[in-house]
Amino acid sequence: REKLMAIVNVFPSSPSAPTARRIVGQMNLDEILSSGFLEGKTHYEVKRGDSYFAIADRQDTSLDMLMHLNGMMELQNLKPGDDLEILHLNFRLLIEPQRKAISLWEGARFICEYPVMKISGLMPNSGKTVIASRRATIDGRNVPPTEKDYRTTSKSIQFKNPPLQILPFDEIDEAPPSGLFLSVPDIEELFLLTRTGNEVEIRNPKR
């Protein structure tokens, strides 16, 4: 992993860099998304009056990640003393339109990268912003994680100023909205790894 990371960090333009990023990303995500890998994760003991929404907000995580790590297909009744595995989602996104890539970082540590399948509309200049909202919809209707249809929803991520968004790629959409498009599996995974408030850097140097 150290040799692959050297390629990612020191020789990012190397012909071997895309392969190195893919392999390192898969290794990192296998660990991050495994409930059996405890590094970087904490445990939370449920207290009287707690709710899933309040716990997710206080612990800088999301309902999606709480459900994933704790093996829940739907939200269950909480009882004082229940133990929840927590992953604090303090990653940042780096968007590079010229490379058609979106990468996830933890401080200076590379986590993973997703190829952008399509870019629609004008991309903003370089700058920083945050995730303003994350939406799960069916036929344009917002669906909360508490509904049984949540797992079949279309996920999207919206930024605050500039109002850019990440959307699932649809080959038959003849007039797509403005944004960056990822494959459905990739945006599902990115949605799981992010929360409202995550930092976003857009690196789009002028030609």
More reliable by pLDDT, 105 or 175: 105
3-12, 38-47, 94-103, 107-116: lowest mean pLDDT where?
Answer: 3-12
Count the neighbouring beta carbons within 10 Å of the beta carbon of residue 112. 22
Q: How many residues does the chain have?
A: 207
Q: What is the pLDDT of residue 161?
A: 87
More reliable by pLDDT, 73 or 198: 198
Band the pLDDT of 93: cuts 50, 70, 90. very high
More reliable by pLDDT, 84 or 207: 84
Summary mean pLDDT of the chain: 90
**Sign of the C-alpha dihedral computed for residues 28, 33, 34 and 38 taken in this order:** positive
Q: What is the pLDDT of residue 173?
A: 65
In angstroms, the first-to-last Cα distance of the chain is: 34
Strand-strand pairing, 165-168 and 179-182: parallel
Report d(CA 120, CA 173) in Å as an integer.
11
Beta bridge partners of 37: none
pLDDT, mean of residues 191-204: 95
Q: What percent of the chain has pLDDT over 70?
A: 97
Backbone angles phi, psi at 185, to 5 degrees: -60, -35
